[in-house]
Amino acid sequence: MAVPAQLHSIIFSFILLLLSLFDTSLSQPQTPSPAPAPPPPSDSCNGIFLSYNYTGGHAIPPTDPTNQAYRFESTLTVLNNGRHELKSWRAFVGFQHQELLVSASNAVLADGSSFPAEVGNGTVLAGFPISDLKSAVETAGDRAQMEVRVGLVGTQFGVGAPDVPMPLNISLVNDGYSCLNATNEGNNVMHVCCIQDDLNSDSNNGVNDEFLARQEGDLVIMYDVIRAYSDNYWAQVSISIHNPLGRLDKWQLSFDWMREEFIYAMRGAYPYVVDTTDCIFGRQGQHYKEMDFSQVLNCERRPTIVDLPPTRANDSILGRIPFCCRNGTILPPLMDPSKSISSFNMQVYKMPPDLNRTELVPPQNWKIKGTMNPEYECGSPIRVTPSQFPDPSGLPSATASIASWQVVCNITQSKQAVPRCCVSYSAFFNDSAIPCNTCACGCNNNPSQTCSATEPALLLRPDALLIPFENRTAEALSWADIKRRSVPNPLPCGDNCGVSINWHLLSDHKDGWTARITLFNWGDSSFEDWFAAVQLDKAVPGFEEVYTFNGSKLLGSNNTLFMQGRPGLNYLLAETDGAKPKKDPRVPGTQQSVISFKKKSTPGIEVAAGDGFPKKVLFNGEECALPTRLPSKAPMVSGRSSVFGFLTLALLLLMQ
């Protein structure tokens, strides 16, 4: 059938239109496709990638134009892009805005502090309950096992919008890793890559692929699970001193249960407070409906544990645990290795969903302290190889624990800590003694106090050191009058120290010199097995003998003397009443000895000019406050009064 001419014309026109449109499209410039997004910074890190992301915050009450408080929220991410598993990860966040950290998900503070905590000078976070991060190689790139995100919430001061309170830096603090400089991305993100050192490539894995290597420290706490059941387990806790000058007296140990555990029974130690309130009114009471909670020892989230007295050592219910029941005293190994460890057992009940004998979680945030001892800062528990114990049946074999964690604690000196002992100076060439500093161990905050906390302590006649401070006023004023010295008004406050130590330079001659050390106990409790350590920068190589105490150079040190009481004389007794209590002042417990030195091994030593006085003194591990000045070699007013004072002090001490 023939096609009409009009239809031919329409088809031809349509073809021409299509050709023209195609030609136009070819002539127009093509819009380029968008460039692909750059890969995330973590992709270029072949180690441990850390990032800190500030997510928000706002002002919180009260209003303070000079130092406003703000809530902040941020996320710390730790990602293992390395070849090996990262065990017990620990990350430093360099906070710098007076931050108070209120909470942290998936982490605890590595120094053992509990929330809220002041972290304005930076802090180290440790993973919990996710402490180990596997590598991509062993998980086929499963990021859930390679990464942890820590949600941080806290308070910071002075940085409001649009400014962002970012930390100074972030880094990984695990041994064997080196971190590059942190990089800022915008104003709210910081990240850094930390690479494992080739020379220490195995340091992260410890002795094998499963456990970390055991660490050294001033004090070590072992948490060993020795029996395990579905809903409870028995743990053995051991505390051991490793520092030659470390010590604990009447120790108190505390920690945080993280999964609602509670203590059912104990042997070798006891809770400071027996309290089951939290169990009876909490989830524990709902779950263990048939349990007699009158038999439970403690349900506090943060219990405090104390040692038992020696009279309980053979108790069939509470005692019969090796190294228990010493009234909380742990000595340095140098004094007695058998007394450098304390141990106890406790039965711990667990809560759902941990009702499986393999679900074992150690407590966190460990703290330990003593009466007059150094302060210890404890890290977070790390999983180590199971401990081995002698077979209880006496067979020549060892029994391994089911699981073991190690907590390492080191001696620290916080800025807020005040000493609990002090030192006074005296010398044969000056008839005045320089007593302990004013408020050396803190001052009384009583508003009615009428003494000065800033005036230097008044010089004394040496025998006045035997008199309690509250009875020294007449002696101090009389001595100032004899020496024609003015006295301030009000008079200086006392030192408020429980123990004071007098260091007296006794003689100085061509071949050698001597000093006398006297210990005073002003407290109500005696010190058994006491020790003192004296650091002399130049004199110790010439040490000859301590005459009344057991004394020696501290092993591994060339500038410290270590002294302790001899057997039978190892008590520094408490303060007692005078001979006539209604008239005489109380008398401190004292111990005294002379120490001799030779000059042959210390050429050039200037004893009277300062080399004969200690640079540091410790009593039972506690560092004592030293005077801020030395006795001068100014002419003495009366040689007779000087000799009389020193002889009186020595005779009074010998008569006690």
CA distance 510 to 490: 45
Give the Cα-Cα-Cα angle 19, 25, 31 (nearest 5 degrees): 165
Cis preceding linkage at 490, omega within 30: yes
- Enumerate residues 6+ apart whose C-beta is below 8 A from 19: none
Strands 499-508 and 421-427: parallel
pLDDT for 29: 55
Reduce the DSSP state of residue 145 to 3 states and report it. helix
Q: Which residues pair with 368 in a beta bridge?
A: 253
CA distance 429 to 609: 11
- Enumerate residues 6+ apart whose C-beta is below 8 A from 28: none
CATH code of the domain occupying 421-443+452-624: 2.60.40.290
Q: In what order do the strands lie in the sheet with 107-109?
A: 107-109, 123-127, 90-93, 170-172
Instruction: Please give the backbone phi and psi of residue 11, each rounded to the nearest 5 degrees, phi first.
Output: -65, -45
CA distance 143 to 152: 21
Q: Where are the domains of the chain?
A: 41-196, 219-390+397-411, 421-443+452-624
Long-range CB contacts (< 8 A, 24+ apart) of 108-111? 108/364, 108/365, 108/380, 109/365, 110/379, 110/380, 111/377, 111/378, 111/379
Give the Cα-Cα-Cα angle 288, 293, 298 (nearest 5 degrees): 105
* Same topology between domain 41-196 and domain 421-443+452-624: yes
Q: Can you list the residues of the chain whose pLDDT is less than 50?
A: 25-26, 199-208, 447, 635-648, 650-656
CATH ID of 219-390+397-411, from 2.40.110.10, 2.60.40.290, 3.40.190.80, 3.40.630.30:
2.60.40.290
CATH code of the domain occupying 41-196: 2.60.40.290
Q: 338-355 burial by CB neighbour count: b if 16+ within 10 A, else e? A: ebbbbbbbbbbbbbeebe
Reduce the DSSP state of residue 23 to 3 states and report it. helix
Q: Are 173 and 92 in contact (CB under 8 A)?
A: yes
Q: Are 161 and 54 in contact (CB under 8 A)?
A: no
